[in-house]
Amino acid sequence: MYVITAASGNTGRIIAQRLLENGKQVKVISRNRANVEDLVSAGAIVAEGNLEDEVFLTQAFEGATAVYAVIPPKWDLKEPWRNYQRRIATSITNALQSSKVPYVVALSSCGSHLQNGAGPVSGLYDFEQLLGGVAGLSVLALRPAFFMQNLYANIPLIKASGIFGYSLSQDVKMPFVHTNDIAEVALQRLIALDFKGFEKQFIAGDRDYTMPEVSEILSKAIGKEIQYVPFSKEELKNGMVSNGIPATIADGYNELFDALNGAEYLNDFERNEGNTTPTSVENFSTEFALAYQNG
């Protein structure tokens, strides 16, 4: 049996669907059953509960061959982001240990080798370290690049003013990945279970892009010129807070972009055939254009 945490998310839902299509027994974890009714209708077992509840998770993991483990985002935090991440990571890790699950595929990130200084990605450093400390557990840490889907959050600003931005230099080249490609990699490794001990796998999209390159591609897709503006950290934080994002999350993003502006964020990543995935920003731009039209 496979257990999928955060089963209503971008990657978890696709993985669960594909496993079911492959005839696998699947249990999906969600805080709200209504969010995964389509998966239940397709044959999944549902466990409704909170990832912070270690007893619940231990019971949900019992009998599993493998777990797909995700720390889902929480956009109403009133505490440091890393505290929340560590709490979920600890609960998942302890439940895996107690239930003696032999395999876990964990959603981590590029940059998670940085113990500090990378915002929410440094919280994933903690997650990897905790998982790697469980005796007898084979761990595959997926380290995807910046999600293309993160660009959706810029649609209101683009509509209002024709710009979007982060506290990220326009000269930085970095990989972008589509969440469908992450799900496909995770699916194949979950089916194969071909990893032992602690392994990591980068998922890096088709190539590296600068933000001005991305804005040019999106401009063509929506038929409107978009300018990328490198915001100051104060501008980014104020913009996020004014849109209801807690200051602790905005601070985390500024720290993440600081790391991306430096060489250290990607200094353990080297693109190769094994971590290059097919979906380009050009491919994604058709989805972005549809979201822009409907937003």
CATH code where residue 244 lies? 3.90.25.10
**Domain final residue pick, 160, 186, 203:** 203
Q: Whole domain around residue 255: which residue ranges?
A: 208-294
Listing DSSP states for 84-103 in one string gives HHHHHHHHHHHHHHHHT-SE
Shared-domain flag, residues 236 and 182: no
155 in a domain, yes or no?
Answer: no
Decide the pairing of beta strands 174-177 and 208-209: antiparallel
Tell me, what amino acid is at 7? A
Q: What pLDDT is attached to residue 80?
A: 93
Q: What pLDDT is attached to residue 263?
A: 84
pLDDT in tens, 228-285: 999 999 999 999 999 999 999 999 999 999 999 998 999 999 999 999 999 999 999 9
Shared-domain flag, residues 98 and 10: yes
Q: What pLDDT is attached to residue 10?
A: 93
Q: What share of the chain in percent tops pLDDT 70?
A: 100
Q: What pLDDT is attached to residue 32?
A: 95
Shared-domain flag, residues 196 and 216: no
pLDDT in tens, 185-206: 999 999 999 999 999 999 999 9
Q: What pLDDT is attached to residue 48?
A: 97
* Paired residues of 175 in beta bridges: 208
- Of the candidates 90, 34, 33, the one whose C-alpha atom is nearest the C-alpha of residue 57 is 90
Domain count, the chain: 2
Asked if residue 146 lies in contact with residue 177, where contact means CB atoms within 8 angstroms, the answer is yes
Q: What pLDDT is attached to residue 201?
A: 98
Asked if residue 121 lies in contact with residue 109, where contact means CB atoms within 8 angstroms, the answer is yes
Question: What is the phi-psi region of residue 136: left when phi exceeds 0, alpha when psi lies from -120 to 50, beta otherwise?
Answer: left
Q: What pLDDT is attached to residue 78?
A: 87
163 in a domain, yes or no?
Answer: no
Shared-domain flag, residues 48 and 19: yes
Per-residue burial over 76-112, b if 16 or more Cβ lie within 10 Å, else e, is: ebeeebbebbbebbebbbbbbbebebebbbbbbbbbb
Q: What pLDDT is attached to residue 2?
A: 99
Shared-domain flag, residues 46 and 82: yes
Q: What pLDDT is attached to residue 56?
A: 98
126 in a domain, yes or no?
Answer: yes
139 in a domain, yes or no?
Answer: yes
Which CATH number belongs to the domain containing residue 97 in this structure? 3.40.50.720
Q: How confident is the model at residue 176 (pLDDT cuts 50, 70, 90)?
A: very high
Q: Which two tokens stand for residue 96?
A: 């895996």
Shared-domain flag, residues 257 and 283: yes
162 in a domain, yes or no?
Answer: no
pLDDT in tens, 98-156: 999 999 999 999 999 999 999 999 999 999 999 999 999 999 999 999 999 999 999 99
Q: What pLDDT is attached to residue 135?
A: 97
Tokens 């972005």 identify what position?
Answer: 288
Shared-domain flag, residues 43 and 104: yes
Sign of CA dihedral 30, 11, 145, 57: positive
Shared-domain flag, residues 196 and 221: no
Distance CA 165, CA 32 (A): 34
> CB burial class (10 A; 0-12, 13-18, 19+) of residue 139?
buried
3-state secondary structure of 112: coil
**Domain final residue pick, 184, 203, 222:** 203
Shared-domain flag, residues 180 and 255: no
167 in a domain, yes or no?
Answer: no
291 versus 77: the higher-pLDDT residue is 291
Shared-domain flag, residues 135 and 241: no
